[in-house]
Structures are given as C-alpha cells and as structure tokens.
Amino acid sequence: MEEDLYKRNSATKKVFKTLLIVILILGGFLGGSIFGAKNTDLIIKNSVLVTEDDSFNKLFEVKDMLHNKYYQDIDDDILLEGAIKGMVNSVGDPYTIFFNSEEYKDFNNDGSGNYIGIGVMVGIKDNKIVVITPFEESPAFEAGLRAGDIIKKVNGISFDGTEMDKAVSIIRGEEGKSVTLTIERDSVEKDIEVVRRNIVIKNVSEEMLENNIGLVTLKQFTEGTGSEVKEAFESLKKSGSEKYILDLRGNPGGFLNEAIDIASLFIPKGEIVLYTLDKADSRKDYLSKGGDFTDVDLILLVDEGSASASEVLAGALKDYDRAELIGNKTFGKGIVQQAFTVGKDEGLKVTVSSYFSPEGKVIHEKGIEPDIEVEIPEDVELPLTKDTDIQLKKAIEVLLEGKTN
C-alpha cells in the first residue's frame, strides 16, 4: 500500500489530447482497434498517418513492426496500457503513477482504510522502497516487518524506488495467499513471508491517561478523520481532560484536506497551515479554519514513520509553538500529488507541487526534528506498552511539568 499526500480531482479526456494521439498511433487502422478513442485531430490518408512530428511516426513504426514481427499475437489493450505507463514512468517520479481500472479502484479504496493486503505503508528514500509503517495487528507487523526496512525484492523480483507501484501491485493480491518480501535491515537481507488478508484500520482512538491527560492516536489521514479527531478531543474535554497528546507515530499521511482540518483545531483562524509551490513557482496558501483547542497544552509524538500529512500537521504546530514534538525525526515527504480520472475508470496520480511549513521550512527529504528526541531502544519488544513506551512517558512528564507553550 502506498503512502501519499494527495488531493482528489477529475479530468476529461481533453486534458489528455496528446495521449489520444498515442492511442490512435497504437491502435489498428483500417478496421483495427482504436482503443475507444472516438475523436482526434489527426488525419489518415491512404492508410498512412500524417503528422509533422517524426516521434509519432516512430511510435507508429514500432507498433506496426511488433504486430508484424512478434512471434505471437499481441493484445492491443495491454500494449496501450504499457505505452501509457511507460510514458508516465519516464518522468522519473515514483509518486507519479498511471492506474489501470483495477489499480485505480484499489487506490480509491485506500481512502477508507480498508483493503486486501498485508497492512504496510511504504515510501521512497535514496531510490529505495522503504517501510514507513506496518500497522499494529496487521499481517506485516505480525510477520516482523518494521519501519525503516528496505524492500529489495517481492516474490524474488528486484525493485527500486522508481518501480514502487509495480512492487505494491504484487504485494497486494488474493486474500489468504502469501507474498514473500526480501528486506534489508541493518545491512542484512532476509526473506519474510506474509499472508494477505482484509485490512481494517481504526484510524482514530482516544484514551484518558493519568492526571486528566487525553491521548488521541491517529493512524492515517483518511476520509473523515478530521471530524473523528475533533470528536475525540471534544469527548476527552467533556471527560475533564486539560492537557493532550496527539500520537502521529507510524502515521504515513493521506488526504491533505484532513490535515488542514486537524491543524485548524489548534491554530487560529486565517493563519497559514502550509503553502505549496508548483513548477511555475505559483504559491497557494492553505489557511486554518479555526477551532476550539487553540490554547491547550499539546504534545505531538512523531517518529520516522510520521510522513506527508503528518508532517504538514507537525510542521505547522511546531512553527506556531502550538505543540512540542517528542520522539524521532519524521520521514521527509514534502510533495503533493493530485489524482485525475482518465477515461471511464482509470486514473493518473501526478506530483503537482512541493509544500512548506508556515515559516517556509523545506520538509521533503529532510523531515522535521523533534523538540525532544527520545529513542526507543532496539531491544524493546513491540508493540509498545505503557511500561515500555518511553516516548509516551516523556510526553506525560513534560505536560505535568508545564513546559509546553
């Protein structure tokens, strides 16, 4: 399952007019398949493609040669999908991806937190596929996968960061079937077999700790989590909570609008939560909507698994001194993707901009340093308990000492 900070949108086929040209080139002429492309501006004369661009002629030549010379029949639909994915992959950004119908359905299902898989979020570091977090009680966690593991192979096939979408598509599969991951940890490689199952993630939970300290744990920024976090804080407040801890450890991100909604609980209305810059250096500011917790004592727990939307929230609260960060440096994904619908039921996810904290701090490939660094010892058994979670203990200690804000 892929880790993303992205926005939802849709686009008509007109956005992909150039793509339709490629479709027509790859499709058969004179009664052959046109792959559903009904309108183009190209003109065909005497069965010859007329274009002033030699690159189109080259594509047509390769397509024609494949059909004439390849020793087996070629499925034009597969040929088209491969051509589109090749074009998208050539951008060189592992977060810019074309999805076929089935992949796009899975991608959209991620928004609910429910899917068939192994329960792991991955990202890219140094062109390697890295585990951001295995969700507790998931097959991945139970099999021994941990944050920071590098996935070298899936079912014996090697993958690097540019092929993350391919790796993810193989990791997912039929419920009850196993997948073998070759991971690297501390420079040592080993194989881990994981059995896929239906993954259902409870994204928001709340708990009243000692001394009226409210703890809210957020696993992902999926649809509706902004409202769920607000309800959790309000519930704890009604129960007498006066100080709060928001646990973002192992949270790989998700929807940008949910991050804005949650940040708005703690940041005065109208203040910048983050801003983005696109390829034209066009700036867009995302502003707080305001909330009822702008003056409470707050601790954020973060670690190397806190990424993307988690870093939006952490960066904003840190810049405004609205929360103290405790734990480890965050993952470092500071780019935004936008999802477009292509055709009837396929999709294209594109990296459209970089984002920055309110003070203009770069997050991508840098991460956010905690105010107080607390390292969980390597020999501590996972999952953590209240007795072994020294990061949580430190947060409680700081709140009781009144050092926040």
CB atoms within 10 A of CB 151: 23
Domain ranges of the chain: 12-95, 114-199, 201-401
**pLDDT tens digit sequence for 358-392:** 999 999 999 999 999 999 998 888 788 889 999 99
Looking at 2.30.42.10, 3.30.200.20, 3.50.50.60, 3.10.20.310, the CATH number of the domain 114-199 comes to 2.30.42.10
What residues are labeled active site?
A: 308, 319, 333
- Rounded to an integer, what distance in angstroms lies between the CA atom of residue 249 and that of residue 47? 60
The whole-model pTM stands at 0.77
Q: Output DSSP code: residue 363.
A: -
Q: Are 171 and 121 in contact (CB under 8 A)?
A: no
- Domain formed by 201-401, architecture: Alpha-Beta Complex (3.90)
Reply yes or no: is the peptide bond before residue 383 cis, omega within 30 of 0.
yes
Average pLDDT, integer, range 96-117: 79
Residue with tokens 């060189």: 92
DSSP string for residues in 322-347: -SEEEES------EEEEEEEETTTEE
Q: Which residue has the higher pLDDT, 225 or 76?
A: 225
Work out whether strand 243-247 and strand 213-218 pair parallel, antiparallel, or are unpaired. parallel
Q: Which residue has the higher pLDDT, 294 or 56?
A: 294
Contacts of 129 (CB under 8 A, 6+ apart): 122, 123, 150, 151, 159, 160, 161, 164, 167
What letter represents residue 69's amino acid? K
- With a cut of 60, say whether residue 39 has pLDDT above it: no
**pLDDT tens digit sequence for 146-198:** 988 999 999 999 999 888 878 988 998 889 999 999 999 999 999 999 999 99
**pLDDT tens digit sequence for 238-263:** 999 999 999 999 898 989 999 999 99
Looking at residue 92, its pLDDT comes to 86
| H or E segment to which residue 89 belongs | helix 76-89
Average pLDDT, integer, range 323-344: 94
Q: Which residue has the higher pLDDT, 346 or 46?
A: 346
- Rounded to an integer, what distance in angstroms lies between the CA atom of residue 247 and that of residue 114? 21
Angle 316-322-326 (CA atoms, 0-180°, nearest 5)?
Answer: 85
- Rounded to an integer, what distance in angstroms lies between the CA atom of residue 132 and that of residue 128? 12
- With a cut of 60, say whether residue 3 has pLDDT above it: no
Q: Are 227 and 265 in contact (CB under 8 A)?
A: no
Looking at residue 136, its pLDDT comes to 83
- With a cut of 80, say whether residue 40 has pLDDT above it: no
Average pLDDT, integer, range 47-65: 68
- Rounded to an integer, what distance in angstroms lies between the CA atom of residue 166 and that of residue 143? 22
Among 8-17, 91-100, 115-124, the range scoring the smallest mean pLDDT is 8-17
Looking at residue 162, its pLDDT comes to 81
Among 49-58, 208-217, 229-238, 347-356, the range scoring the smallest mean pLDDT is 49-58
CA–centroid distance for 44 within its chain: 43
Average pLDDT, integer, range 100-120: 79
Looking at residue 52, its pLDDT comes to 53
- Kindly list the distances between the CA atom of residue 222 and the CA atoms of 30, 205, 291, 364, in Å, as whole numbers in the listed order: 48, 14, 20, 21
- With a cut of 80, say whether residue 5 has pLDDT above it: no
**pLDDT tens digit sequence for 13-38:** 333 334 444 443 343 332 233 222 22
Average pLDDT, integer, range 9-14: 38
Looking at residue 232, its pLDDT comes to 98
SS3 60: helix
Among 107-116, 322-331, 385-394, the range scoring the smallest mean pLDDT is 107-116
**pLDDT tens digit sequence for 276-315:** 999 999 999 999 999 999 999 999 999 998 999 999 999 9
